[in-house]
């Protein structure tokens, strides 16, 4: 194998740069040229490629975002565009592709795999919502940011005896809300995987106050509803409560990646190149019990579902339910 390409696609996450850097460095180490594709699948179709050097990647390991840029490009669902991408790679003598992104990006990679083109995926999304793997790169950084922001909000909440609902990202998955909620001892967590009961949340807030708590924190996954909608609905049940809504939004996707995200991005980027050299493809990388694993792209995306750590959610709900005490 002489030449491969790497792209980042979909929502950006911390650790994408670290993964690109590992692919380039490992390629260099094994005598393989690595081409960067700019703007995800759009760049693949348009031939927006540049040969990457080790110097291009210097210090990228510590930076958030992606220096190859990312794009939402739904046009890649069209077979005509997939064929154009294959033609571009043939023209540039690219023999394999490393696709860095979320499950949508893996669907794009899957289309190329269906044509027999060698692809390997690296899971980078703050949502942690990819089937098979227990962990996706960017999740740890985003979770820590959410935790730090919620800590700050709880300081001001306490000073005014307020309740706050804090909306975190995660799209259709509740992972960020669960982990950030447990890490901050939230009075309640609302996730899309469990039907929300507003009466119960109000009861928990009131019970906490009766038990002597001076403020309340509710962590809300964006897949349930917005913080504004939540406040409106909450007030119909508890009109006298001083409750504010905060949406953390894109702050969760920026900043330097944590050590965990950097280390796993590095492991996955290097392993992806090794596997391509060994002739393995049509797979994506993942983590099970702190060890790297690979998953068949077609089989896993079709037949497996992502599951949240529901026991963590339930533990938090039990620990913070003061009426049981």
105 lies in the binding site for ligand ATP (CB under 6 A): yes
107 lies in the binding site for ligand ATP (CB under 6 A): yes
Report the distance separating Cα 321 and Cα 201, nearest Å. 10
121 in a labelled binding site: no
Tokens of 268: 């996955």
Tokens 């540049």, residue located: 50
Nearest to 14 by CA among 267, 250, 173: 250
Question: Does 140 participate in catalysis according to the annotation?
Answer: no
Contact range with ligand ATP by CB under 6 A, out of 26-34, 66-74, 212-220, 296-304: 66-74
Task: To the nearest 10°, report the CA torsion of 204, 208, 209, 215.
Answer: -100
Q: Which is nearer to ligand ATP, 238 or 298 (CB)?
A: 298
261 lies in the binding site for ligand ATP (CB under 6 A): no
321 touches 204 (CB < 8 A): yes
245 lies in the binding site for ligand ATP (CB under 6 A): no
Roughly how many angstroms between the first and final C-alpha of the chain, as a whole number? 64
Q: What is the CA radius of gyration of the chain?
A: 22
298 lies in the binding site for ligand ATP (CB under 6 A): no
Give the count of residues interacting with ligand ATP (CB under 6 A).
21
Q: Which is nearer to ligand ATP, 113 or 217 (CB)?
A: 113
Report the distance separating Cα 161 and Cα 154, nearest Å. 10
Site string for ligand ATP, 169-188 (x = CB under 6 A): --x-----------------
Considering only 29, 51, 77, 250, the residue that binds ligand ATP (CB under 6 A) is 77
Considering only 27, 108, 170, 282, the residue that binds ligand ATP (CB under 6 A) is 108
Instruction: Give the active site residue among 127, 129, 175, 261.
Output: 127
Tokens of 124: 């980078």
Least Å distance, CB 188 to ligand ATP, is 26
Report the distance separating Cα 14 and Cα 232, nearest Å. 33
Least Å distance, CB 281 to ligand ATP, is 17
Site string for ligand ATP, 4-23 (x = CB under 6 A): -----xxx------------
105 in a labelled binding site: yes
Query: What are the residue ranges of helices labelled H in the chain?
Result: 16-29, 40-46, 79-91, 103-114, 139-159, 175-184, 198-210, 227-237, 259-277, 297-303, 310-319
73 lies in the binding site for ligand ATP (CB under 6 A): yes
Maximum alpha-carbon separation in the chain: 70
230 touches 219 (CB < 8 A): no
182 touches 312 (CB < 8 A): yes
169 in a labelled binding site: yes
Q: Residues marked as binding?
A: 11, 72-73, 102-105, 125-127, 162, 169-171, 185-187, 213-215, 222, 244, 250-253
Q: Residues marked as binding for Mg(2+)?
A: 103
Which residues contribute to the site for ligand ATP (CB under 6 A)?
9-11, 40-41, 72-74, 76-77, 101-105, 107-108, 111, 125, 127, 171
């Amino acid at each position: 194998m002489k030449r491969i390409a790497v792209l980042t696609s979909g929502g950006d996450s911390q650790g994408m740069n670290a993964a690109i850097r590992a692919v380039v460095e490992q390629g260099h180490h094994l005598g393989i040229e690595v081409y960067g594709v700019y703007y995800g699948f759009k760049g693949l179709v348009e031939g927006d490629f540049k040969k990457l050097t080790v110097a291009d990647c210097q210090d990228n390991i510590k930076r958030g975002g992606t220096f190859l840029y990312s794009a939402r490009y739904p046009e890649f669902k069209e077979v005509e565009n997939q064929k154009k991408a294959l033609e571009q790679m043939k023209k540039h003598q690219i023999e394999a592709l490393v696709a860095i992104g979320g499950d949508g990006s893996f669907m794009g990679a899957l289309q190329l795999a269906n044509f027999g083109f060698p692809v390997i995926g690296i899971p980078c999304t703050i949502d942690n919502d990819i089937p098979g793997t227990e962990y996706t790169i960017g999740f740890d950084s985003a979770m820590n940011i959410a935790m730090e922001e919620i800590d700050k909000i709880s300081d001001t909440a306490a000073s005014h005896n307020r309740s706050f609902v804090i909306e975190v990202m995660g799209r259709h998955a509740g992972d960020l809300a669960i982990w950030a909620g447990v890490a901050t001892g939230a009075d309640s967590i609302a996730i899309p995987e469990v039907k929300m009961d507003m009466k119960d949340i109000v009861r928990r807030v009131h019970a906490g106050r009766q038990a002597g708590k001076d403020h309340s924190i509710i962590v809300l996954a964006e897949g349930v509803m917005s913080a504004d909608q939540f406040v409106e609905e909450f007030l119909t049940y508890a009109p006298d409560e001083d409750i504010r809504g905060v949406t953390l939004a894109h702050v969760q996707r920026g900043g330097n990646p944590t050590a965990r995200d950097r280390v796993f991005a590095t492991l996955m980027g290097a392993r992806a190149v090794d596997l391509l050299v060994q002739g393995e493809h049509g797979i994506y990388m993942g983590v099970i019990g702190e060890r790297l694993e690979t998953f068949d792209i077609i089989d896993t995306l079709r037949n497996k579902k992502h599951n949240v750590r529901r026991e963590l959610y339930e533990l938090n709900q039990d620990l913070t339910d003061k009426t049981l005490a």
